[in-house]
Amino acid sequence: MAYTVRKLDDYAPAALDAAVHDLLSAVGQEAGSVAGENDWKLFRDRWMARKNGILTQVNDLWLKAAPGPAKREVGARVNQLKTEVERAVDAAQQRISSSGSKSRLDSERLDITLPGIRRPLGAEHPVLRTMSEIVQVFRAMGYSVADGPEIETDYLNFEALNFPPNHPARDTQDTIFVAGQERKPQRDRLLLRTHTSPVQIRAMMATPPPIRVVVPGKVHRADTADATHSPIFHQVEGLAVDTNITFCDLKGTLDHAMKAFFGSNVKTRFFPSFFPFTEPSADVSVTCFKCGGKGCRLCKMSGWIELLGCGMVDPNVFQFVKSNGYDSRKISGFAFGMGVERIAMLKYGIDDIQLFYQGDVRFLEQFN
Ligand code: PHE
């Protein structure tokens, strides 16, 4: 039977003690059967609610109703009851919340013997991979590797490469200029390098002949992006200067490099071309590595694929680095430059250059 507060009719200390004892054993029992949060709230309100909680009733029925002389005795006991009931309510709360965290621990138990989750490993991007494969072919022939800044001066990108100011050859390189440089002399104006060729000049300024370098790097042109163009792309440049370097050396070097890169059965073909900084200049084609030269879609039925530009270093270029020992009466050299994306596309059969820049893992993971 649930505990209810009854009026007192005997105020003798022994009778008061008995009433207190009944109440305390009732609260102790009820506290013991509190099982969860909701239970506990009901329990707390039943005993402690201001309005009609058991303590309030005790106050009304025992203390307020007590005759004057008994009030002291009753008051002391009511205060004691208050403390005891509060303690029982607190203790019940403690008990259910600690059993709550135990069940949380149980449900969140971790099996540390399970195998972990593997993070997928990244891989080298196909463009960088192609670039380092090209560089490796030349390193094996004794070339060293150089690089230069992507923000370059007009002087190194054009003038020292024998593109005179306002020469129409500059128009073939759709240049992105750094804004706000109109007050500088033209040669000092900054631009995003349109090719890796300025590093030819940088390398010759840093090292007297003989020199053999390859220059992998990023270049920029104001091209609209489409399946074969990107405003940012990559080139590998090469330069060899020594005594008695001839066009034969150029042909032999590039023929070897193409065979090393695409396979020993490709053939190379040199076609007259023009670059301001090489004379004579040539474009190099290789036999189509898909059809072997018979003609297919990849080579547009010609059997040949155009891959790079090259030529003998123009004596006018040596003029700009003469003070470092480049005397065109004593030395000669050749240079070449190739687009890395184009070579990677041909090698892997990729038909859209934009795929290289979109970061789609489904595309990239094919090259792992
Ligand atoms: N720099 C030239 C280009 O970007 C390529 C090239 C390099 C040609 C070296 C000849 C010699 O088109």
Structural element, H or E, at residue 132: helix 126-139
Predicted pLDDT at 168: 84
CB atoms within 10 A of CB 81: 21
Predicted pLDDT at 299: 83
276 in ligand 1 pocket by Cβ < 6 Å? no
User: Tokens for 15?
Assistant: 């009778």
Q: Residue 295 gets which letter from DSSP?
A: -
For each successive 10 residues of the chain (368 residues), what is the average pLDDT?
Answer: 88 90 92 89 94 92 90 92 93 82 78 88 90 97 98 96 88 87 93 97 98 98 91 97 98 97 93 96 92 85 92 98 97 98 91 94 87
Q: Burial of 333 by CB count in 10 Å (0-12 exposed, 13-18 middle, 19+ buried)? A: buried
337 in ligand 1 pocket by Cβ < 6 Å? yes
Evaluate whether 261 touches 272 at the Cβ level (below 8 Å).
Answer: no
Compute the distance from residue 296 Cα to the ligand 1 centre, in Å: 27
pTM: 0.69
278 in ligand 1 pocket by Cβ < 6 Å? yes
CA dihedral 285, 290, 293, 298 (to 10 degrees): -70
Evaluate whether 298 touches 346 at the Cβ level (below 8 Å).
Answer: yes
Give every CB contact of residue 201 below 8 A, 6+ residues apart in sequence.
Answer: 156, 160, 161, 317, 320, 321
Helices within 142-239 (DSSP H only): 154-157, 198-206
Predicted pLDDT at 165: 86
Question: What is the DSSP annotation of 333-357?
Answer: EEEEEEEHHHHHHHHHT---GGGGT
Predicted pLDDT at 333: 98
Amino acid type, 128? L
311 in ligand 1 pocket by Cβ < 6 Å? yes
Q: Residue 177 gets which letter from DSSP?
A: B
238 in ligand 1 pocket by Cβ < 6 Å? no
162 in ligand 1 pocket by Cβ < 6 Å? no
Q: For residue 281, which atom of ligand 1 is closest to its CA? A: 10
Give, for ligand 1, the residue of 174, 195, 314 to mutate: max count of ligand atoms closer than 8 Å to Cβ.
195
How far apart (Å, rounded) are the C-alpha atoms in residues 201 and 154?
A: 12
Q: For residue 239, which atom of ligand 1 is closest to its CA? A: 9
Give, for ligand 1, the residue of 170, 196, 197, 284 to mutate: max count of ligand atoms closer than 8 Å to Cβ.
197
| Paired sense of beta strands 144-145 and 211-220, if any | parallel
Compute the distance from residue 285 Cα to the ligand 1 centre, in Å: 14
CA dihedral 93, 95, 99, 100 (to 10 degrees): 10
Amino acid type, 348? Y
Predicted pLDDT at 269: 96
Which residue's entry shows tokens 């306002």?
166
How far apart (Å, rounded) are the C-alpha atoms in residues 256 and 73?
A: 114
Cis peptide before 67 (omega within 30 of 0): no
> Which residue, judged by its Cα, is nearest atom 10 of ligand 1?
310
Provide the edge-to-edge strand list for the sheet that holds 304-313.
Answer: 144-145, 211-220, 232-242, 332-339, 304-313, 278-287, 268-275
Cis peptide before 198 (omega within 30 of 0): no
Predicted pLDDT at 68: 87
Amino acid type, 346? L
How far apart (Å, rounded) are the C-alpha atoms in residues 283 and 25?
A: 105
Compute the distance from residue 336 Cα to the ligand 1 centre, in Å: 6
| Total number of residues shown for the chain | 368
Give every CB contact of residue 148 below 8 A, 6+ residues apart in sequence.
Answer: 156, 193, 196, 198, 199, 202, 215, 217
Predicted pLDDT at 105: 80
Evaluate whether 160 touches 317 at the Cβ level (below 8 Å).
Answer: yes
Predicted pLDDT at 106: 79
Evaluate whether 285 touches 268 at the Cβ level (below 8 Å).
Answer: yes
